[in-house]
A and B are shown apart, each in its own frame.
Chain A
Amino acid sequence: MSLTDQIVQYLVTGVSIGAVYGLVGLGLAIIFNATGVINFAQGEFVMLGGMCAVAFTGLGMPLIVAALLSIAVVTAVGLLVERLAIRALPRASIITLIIATIGASFVLKGGAKLLWGPEAVILPSFSGHAPLHIGAAGIDPQRVWVMGVALVSVIGVQLFFKYTLTGKAMQACAINRSAAQLVGININRMVSLSFGLSAALAAIGGIVLTPVTMMRYSQGATFTLTGFLAAVVGGLGNGIGAVVGGIMLGVLEALAGGFVDVATRGLIHSGYSKAIALAVALLILWLRPQGLLGRRERESA
């Protein structure tokens, strides 16, 4: 395989896993903009999406039905988390709310372990395993599914924010809560919606990714952490930034995994790929605290 083919292969790997980080990051950004809270249960929604899909197909449902049902279930869980961990604390500080979402993530993770056990589960690929060929590079068709579904979801969210009344109301909320309230927008409903929408996005990511990487009850935290960094690197106030940040992290990780060994003559081996991606992310944050696409926060009086 030529170097170009290798690069293509790593890029596809990176973009597809990064797309899921991006979906998580996008969800985190939506919740952050509505509430100022970083939802530490976000990665659990990815895990639940994958787990539910496996469980429902196991009951003999066709894939599409299982997927839609899983998204519905996880959305409901997202709404429940908002109701029990956020709305129950109307005057709490942001830190308290963040800790409440950490508590929620524990409940979801532990619940998944009780329901489905500690083993990793897998979902069959959506369209077989015959690799697609770009040049000499073989590409797992499921990764194409991941990228395609993520792209459609992101576009869907953007259209929702731009063209629907509810979407516009959510944006207004993010920009200025009290002003939004003054014009009659129901803030509580918007916060609920942000949790529902974010959970659905994460579930979609989980469902399409499970055939590639399998899914285990304990995997949520990794998605939260990486999705979080993706969102922050891209700029938390900016949904597209989160997706860009996620893809960047995914690609960095894949390329580092593929080439760092050779590039450093074995000094740093491929096991460090994720650490390298994270270090780059932190360095970017250090240089640009507002994120890659974020604007500097306006000073307020």
Chain B
Amino acid sequence: MHDCAVTENEIVLGFAEVSKFFGGLVALDGVSGEVFGGEILGIIGPNGAGKTTLFNIISGVFSPSKGEIGLGGRPITGLPCHKIAHLGVARTFQNIRLFREMSVLENVLVGRHSQASASLIGSVLRLPGIRAEESQLRQEALAYLDMVGLSERAEAKAGSLTTGQQRLLEIARALAGEPQIILLDEPAAGLNTRETEALGEFILRMQQELELTIVLIEHDMRLLMEVAERVMVIDRGHKIAEGTPAQIQADPQVISAYLGEEFAANGPPVQSTEERL
């Protein structure tokens, strides 16, 4: 399935001088960076710093006001969402966007939209081959549900799942498109400690078993610092730091800009990071 194994140090996703203005508001201001094949890159920053805007631009929800995005060496700037999805970028949403009225299985099936080929006319006329493709799709979709431990709930309505299950389903739906890179937008939001731990393990499994490249926006510092190999810090539309988790936690600029108020109140950074748990 995932034969596009990428060796490390190869850049799979790059963005150069990306800016986004909404009217007079500057959401992102000249942010550059790259994501290496097979790595887990963490992105942190205060609320409203522009993290989700960056995801929106990479996944094609918005086109950038300035700057370029490249995927595997080819420019994807300004391409519509569905084309970028076809090229192998999947994502989840901070405020979960499942198809709530559809079943859990159907959600994953929609995620596999690009992997199927049934045409509209073919479907309407039930041409031979459609049924076979459909049942194969179902098998494959079930396998993805198995992966996140939701195959028991395959026929339930997506809207009836708990928040934790919904986050997992959204990831399964994203994985079903067989992406080479997945953007996770605060996947731990709304999860309890145990669920968060399981999520952390799952993220590492995705990296190792599916050989996926993962970009992770997360406010849960323990999760992020545990799984991410590199961390990028965005504040008020600017990238202010980049480095290993250890470097970031020691970076004075990050401490003052991002962790500032809390550390001012709570003492040195490392201890305070622990306290946030």
Contact = CB atoms under 8 A, between A and B. Distances in A.
Interface of A: 298-301
Most B CB contacts (10 A, CB to CB) among A298, A299, A300 go to A299
Contacts of A298: 22-23
B56 interface: yes
A299 B22 CA distance: 7
Contacts of B22: 298-301
Interface in B96-146: none
B249 interface: no
Contacts of A301: 22, 27, 52-53, 56
Contacts of B52: 301
Contacts of B202: none
The B interface is mostly helix, strand or loop, or mixed, namely: mixed
A299 B60 CA distance: 13
Would you list the 6 A-B pairs with minimal beta carbon distance, nearest first?
A: A298-B23, A299-B62, A299-B22, A298-B22, A301-B53, A301-B22
Contacts of B27: 301
Q: Chain A contact residues: over half helix, strand or loop, or mixed?
A: loop
Contacts of A299: 22, 62
Interface in B41-61: 52-53, 56
A298 B23 CA distance: 7
A13 B53 CA distance: 52
Contacts of B23: 298
8 contacts: A298-B22, A298-B23, A299-B22, A299-B62, A301-B22, A301-B27, A301-B53, A301-B56
A299 B23 CA distance: 8
A233 B52 CA distance: 35
Contacts of B53: 301
Contacts of B62: 299
A299 B25 CA distance: 11
A139 B22 CA distance: 51
A300 to B, nearest CB: 7
A298 B62 CA distance: 12
Given A299-B62, A301-B53, 8 more contacts: A298-B22, A298-B23, A299-B22, A300-B22, A301-B22, A301-B27, A301-B52, A301-B56
Interface in B39-91: 52-53, 56, 62
Nearest to A298: B23
B61 to A, nearest CB: 9
A301 B27 CA distance: 10
A299 B56 CA distance: 12
Contacts of B56: 301
A71 B189 CA distance: 55
A273 B56 CA distance: 47
